[in-house]
């Protein structure tokens, strides 16, 4: 019988180069911010201040990557959440919430990108109107 060695499964992403560096993570469900506390209350519907049900949109989070595993579970430090407008969930406000050290569940991760080198640009798909 031949010796069978189990090959270690490697992650598709090499996040080791981002350890101790700020990253942005987008999650399905929840809100948009810099690394969320994920849980059952973060997905689905919630009641806004007017008492009406509204759909929660994806969460965008940023923090310093402290650790990860092959399932994309992440540990982020110095995490900040960006709050959405309660009346229009498509709009982010200037309000943020400090969350600190957070463990993010990998099954909710949609996007990971480095924070350094990112800058806001105008939307190239919106036609500029002459004033």
Residue boundaries of the structural domains of the chain: 17-45+52-114
pLDDT for position 77: 96
Tokens at 12, concatenated: 């598709």
CATH classification code of 17-45+52-114:
2.30.30.100
Cβ-proximal residues to 119 (8 Å cutoff; 6+ apart), any chain? none
Cα dihedral 4→5→11→16 (10° resolution): -170
Written as tens digits, the pLDDT of the chain (131 aa) is 455 677 777 777 789 999 999 998 888 875 443 333 333 333 333 444 444 433 445 677 889 999 999 888 999 999 988 777 778 777 777 888 898 999 999 888 888 989 888 777 888 888 766 55
pLDDT for position 45: 38
């Amino acid at each position: 019988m031949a010796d069978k060695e189990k090959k270690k499964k490697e992650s598709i992403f090499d996040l080791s180069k981002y350890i101790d560096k700020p990253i942005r993570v987008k999650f399905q469900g929840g809100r948009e911010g810099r690394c969320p506390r994920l849980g059952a209350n973060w997905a689905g519907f919630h009641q806004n201040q007017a008492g009406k049900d509204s759909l929660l949109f994806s969460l965008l989070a940023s923090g310093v990557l402290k650790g990860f595993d092959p399932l994309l579970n992440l540990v982020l430090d110095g995490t900040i959440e960006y709050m959405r407008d309660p009346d229009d969930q498509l709009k982010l406000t200037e309000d943020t919430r400090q969350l600190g050290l957070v463990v993010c569940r990998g099954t909710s991760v949609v996007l990971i990108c480095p924070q350094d080198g990112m800058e806001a640009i105008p939307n190239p798909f919106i036609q500029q109107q002459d004033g």
